Structure 1
Amino acid sequence: MGEAFTLGFIIPIMNICFLFCKFHFSKLYEASMSHDILKYAVVAIFFLVFNFVVATFSLKCFQLICFQYTVPVTSFFLDGRDHGYFIFLLVPITLALSLSADKMLSLKVLLVLIAEAIGSLVFCELMQLLTGLDVFSKYIISMLIVNIITPIENQYKWNLVINDQLAKVSLPVLLGSILITVIVCLYVAALQRKELLIKNLRYETDHDNLTNLLNYRAFSNYIIEISTDTSAVYTILMIDLDNFKGVNDEFGHLEGNNLLRAFTAKLSRFFSDRYSTAVKIFRFGGEEFCLVLKDVSIEDAYAKIWEFEELLTAKGYSTTTGKQVKVSFSGGVANTDQKSNIHEAIRNADAAVYLAKNNGRAQIICPGCVID
């Protein structure tokens, strides 16, 4: 009864505790480590110690090794292939160390340990081919099968017939595997829900509800982030819709909001298609917008903003009542160079916008551009 309790509960709980520690290490500390080698080294040290202790304990108590693939299988399905492959590689090492301490290690045993690790990894890869199953189902099936077929004392006795001793431990190992998978799945599902909630909250915090563009708070944070970046050139495009107050006065604020949504959708699509990840678009406030382009020349940005203005003017905006409204904007362009930093570039672009508006609107001014 004591052996069954240890196999079905104590050792599984030990594995669960290690997995929880690994999950928390990944979330809290891995991101702060600058080198991947350091991350893998820390995981390797802790796993080698843990698996050696569990394997030695299992050998002493039951003359067999069990649950040795709990951590690698879990890492493979829930942390990613890279983590999974790495920890699968460590399993034969820890088992060899444990068997060596009991003077049971030989070349033949080592080869069997390596073959067993490869076989377990191949089984997990085959499970990945089952596209009709979700990741949790694949994980559960792999855990149950791998944990049942690997704890065989004939690893070092070389008797390939399942004996009475193994039959006695199969049920506790199965129950222990079920315990591990249930708790781990519940825990990971809870983590995923929490991460999704945090992601949604972060999105709501950093995005404008009306236009879905990044908001002024996100703009401020981004400018702080890139203010010390001297390896790249940043071009600033400031845009202010012309006569927007007149649209609100004539058609109402709801129509004005519709116009803003239509305008920002076109703006986002136009620049995202042309610059992809090199552009960030912010709603600066009201009908004002700011685009920050990384490593895009000021002349190229100036040409593109004129191209967008011509496209916008040609199509205009149709209200919900079908009336056509001409949409134009005033723009200013500036960039960082050896003389001006990101904050000065923003001020220069903003000043150019006001100069454009004072000169009659529907203009784009770029004091630093060299126009052929």
Structure 2
Amino acid sequence: MAAKIFDAVIYLPIIVITMIIAQIYFEDYRKTVRSHRQIILTLIVAVSYFVQEYCLLQISLININEVAFMMVVPFTMLFRNNHDKIWWGLLILTPLFANTVEVLIGIEPLHNWWVWLPESAIFLIICAALTTWQYWSLRVRYIMAISSLGLVELVSLAINNRFTIANIAAATFGLLLILIFEGQRYKNEIKNQQRINLLRRESERDDLTGLLNYRALSQEIKVLTQNRSIHNIVIGGLDIDHFKKINDTYGHFVGNEVLNHFSTVLRNRIHTAFPNHGYVYRFGGEEFSIVVSNHSIKEVYSVLQLIEEEMAGQPITTKEDITVSISFSASLTNHLNGEQLDDTLKRADKMLYSVKNSGRGWIVTDHHISAKKVHRIDR
């Protein structure tokens, strides 16, 4: 009896835990493969799942004379991602699979083939209710879901008059062990994801100004081009005029103050003028870029004019009490459909380079949709 209790409370739950870990690995891997391989990988997941469930069914029958824990894996995977259709299908099919195996090995009579229907309906209702109900936290809802499995199992044992100490232990303490382990594993997973997100955000920020960098720009353009609600993307290149002279004359500390002041003004004005549609980036040195979606080049040009007028009328006074006037040159162009980001940036950079060679302090715009004529406006 002690061996059966050990199997119900420790041995079988550990097997279920390893099954969960294996399916989480498959889930993470599926997210990385290309779409045309998704069908093959989904089939592999389904086959591996039923192989695992068959092994679990046999082991539980041998060790505690009762089928146990078979619904834990689909319940757990659905709570990880209730939008994954494969787990809804496997949730429905698992009772059918278990009952079919029981009929084939002679545990259940053939006339009881329909028993899987109410079982599937019960588990489907439980999962549908608890995965979509947002009143309680995900952790609380998962505890409720696994607890419901234990309750259903106890009711089934009572109806069939199969109460044994091992069966009761499996439906209570065995599920409790799985809950404890899965709760700790999920907690560690969330912490690791938070660390990854923090590192990703830090890798997308410029250390000096706190602005987004080229890596973030590339990601943002990718997101914008895939968003059907975005109908226009304007990319601008900006360069502080004669910044090298500022560094050579006053030193790098003053140069850093100029960069920070320029970054702050540019970011605040762009974010205010184009809330949720305007982003500012620093490429290094005195080079900056802006991305504005769902607004015309003319609108962006008008905002840049206001920014240069503000900077011309308000020179920066540094900590060393040095007064520095800031001006900038800029180019604006549309990101074309299907165009690589580097091609857009090269065009903007080429336009900006022409401004530098023409005396600086200008804003040029490039209308590719109409006559492809470059308009240059001198301040």
> Which bin holds the TM-score, normalised by the shorter protein?
0.7 to 0.9
Deviation at 1:190, TM superposition (A): 3.1
Please state if 1:115 is matched with 2:154: no
SS of equivalent to 1:32: coil
Question: What residue number does 1:146 align with?
Answer: 148
SS of equivalent to 1:51: helix
Deviation at 1:43, TM superposition (A): 3.4
Deviation at 1:363, TM superposition (A): 1.6
Amino acid at match of 1:100: T
Question: What residue number does 2:91 align with?
Answer: 91
CA distance in 1, matches of 2:89, 2:48: 14
Structure 2 vs 1, CA of residues 113 and 301 (structure 1 numbering), >3 Å: closer, same or farther? same
Question: What residue number does 2:82 align with?
Answer: 81
TM-score of the pair, normalised by structure 1: 0.74
In the alignment of these two chains, the number of paired residues is: 358
Question: What residue number does 2:101 align with?
Answer: 101
Question: What residue number does 1:287 align with?
Answer: 286
Instruction: List gaps (5 residues or longer) in structure 1.
Output: none
Question: What residue number does 2:71 align with?
Answer: 69
Q: What root-mean-square deviation, in Å, do the aligned CA atoms of Structure 1 and Structure 2 show?
A: 4.3
Structure 2 vs 1, CA of residues 255 and 168 (structure 1 numbering), >3 Å: closer, same or farther? same
- Taking only the aligned residue pairs, the percentage that are identical comes to 23
Report 1:1-372 matches (<5 A).
1-34=2-35, 38=39, 40-59=42-61, 62-77=64-79, 79-83=80-84, 86-103=86-103, 104=108, 106=112, 108-121=114-127, 124-125=130-131, 128-131=134-137, 135-143=138-146, 145-152=147-154, 154=156, 160=159, 164-165=163-164, 167-216=165-214, 235-244=234-243, 253-254=252-253, 256-272=255-271, 281-292=280-291, 298-299=297-298, 301-310=300-309, 312-313=311-312, 317=316, 319=318, 326-335=325-334, 343=342, 345-366=344-365, 368-369=373-374
SS of equivalent to 1:290: strand
Amino acid at match of 1:208: D
TM-score of the pair, normalised by structure 2: 0.73
CA distance in 2, matches of 1:353, 1:207: 24
- C-alpha contact 1:73 1:124 (8 A) present in aligned 2: no
SS of equivalent to 1:366: strand
Amino acid at match of 1:73: F
Amino acid at match of 1:268: R
Q: Structure 1, residues 57-106: CA drift from partner, whole Å, max 9, x if none? A: 434654533212322332233x23224x7535423422222212333363
CA distance in 1, matches of 2:221, 2:14: 46
SS of equivalent to 1:31: coil
- C-alpha contact 2:68 2:170 (8 A) present in aligned 1: no
CA distance in 1, matches of 2:336, 2:97: 59
Deviation at 1:116, TM superposition (A): 2.5
Deviation at 1:327, TM superposition (A): 3.4
Amino acid at match of 1:112: P
Amino acid at match of 1:175: F
SS of equivalent to 1:282: strand
SS of equivalent to 1:289: strand
- C-alpha contact 2:8 2:174 (8 A) present in aligned 1: yes
CA distance in 2, matches of 1:234, 1:115: 49
Structure 2 vs 1, CA of residues 314 and 52 (structure 1 numbering), >3 Å: closer, same or farther? farther
Structure 2 vs 1, CA of residues 22 and 272 (structure 1 numbering), >3 Å: closer, same or farther? farther
CA distance in 2, matches of 1:305, 1:27: 44
Amino acid at match of 2:50: L
CA distance in 1, matches of 2:134, 2:221: 43
Q: Structure 1, residues 247-275: CA drift from partner, whole Å, max 9, x if none? A: 66787654543443343234334445666
CA distance in 2, matches of 1:246, 1:265: 21
